[in-house]
Amino acid sequence: MNKVKRESFNNAAQFLKKESRPLERTIFEYYFENGSVSKIVEELTKFQNDDGGVAGLFEPDCRLPLSTPLASSMALRIINKFSLDKESLDIKEKIYKYLDASHDGNRKGWFAVRKEINDYPHAPWWDFDYSTEMTIIDHFWGNPNAEIIGYICTDTGYCGKLDKEKLLKHVLEYWKTRKEYESEHEIMCFIKLYNVLPKDNKSEIIRQGISNGISSLLNMNIREWNTYVPRPLDFICEKNGEYFGITEEQIDTHLDYVVDEMNRQGIIMPNWHWGVYPQEWDIAKKEWTGVKTLEFLITADKFGRVQR
């Protein structure tokens, strides 16, 4: 079994401590050095705007300082992984107030970002198209709506004007009509929804759609894994969680691949690039390297792939 060597782990730790965003550094310290939740919350707070939402640049491919539903959902994802204290509850309450106010009744959800994204450096796939009044990402309604609705349905006492049952009903109706799957990110958002819902008939509908989507999109051509394609670990949240039809052999193959990458480089770099805004991309690339390196160290550790 390939494992992340101690030297490679130390190299990754040094990068996270010196080169990554403070947020990734504090999360690393929490998982591997008995760090505190309060420091994570403190770093999250720095991304929160006066309207309660989280700045778009929380997602490194968007350098938008204004609040977006996408970034807000990502922040909720992090907060919900840790034990709650008063400060994190305050962040959540403000985020939900923002989501409450920014909900679009016609869309029955949210648009991922806002048109002002065009005024700031960003990846090309975040271009706002004024003819459609959305980005390419927004053509796949579930991203980030499925994830947001999952949090709304399971967090009590938030989003007063939003009807949780109606939101969930629309999610289920939307997902049941899907016959073709084009966006792995939409599937990932439905995985986040599935993981927070009680296991019942509703979640079974979601699980089946996720399995169908992964079956049609999963790329097991290792020679293409250095490009932006859906790979097994992209869909796996926990070692003992739901695998949605992905086999343990496929997971082990992907783990071996990324462990080798980590042992060669000491970090995990993004396998995509913008092709525009070169100076800003250099910043985003370094931030993504911190995010991806941290994500894999946590995953590798859960699967027993870190040398002790």
CA atoms within 13 A on the CB side of 225: 20
Express each pLDDT in 278-303 by its tens digit.
999 999 999 999 999 999 999 999 99
Interatomic CA distance for residues 32 and 14, integer angstroms: 13
| Cα of 273 vs its chain's centroid, Å | 18
pLDDT band at 201 (very low <50, low <70, confident <90, very high): confident
Phi/psi for 104 (5° steps) reads -105, 110
Cα–Cα distance, 1 to 286 (Å, whole number) = 29
- The overall pTM is greater than 0.85: yes
What DSSP element (H or E) covers 149? Answer: helix 142-154
Give 275's Cβ-side CA count (13 Å radius). 5
Tell me the CA distances in angstroms from 10 to 7, 14, 15, 19, one per residue in order: 5, 6, 9, 14
* Structure confidence by residue, pLDDT tens digits, 158-182: 767 889 999 999 999 999 998 899 9
Angle at alpha carbon of residue 50, lines to 48 and 53, rounded to 5°:
45
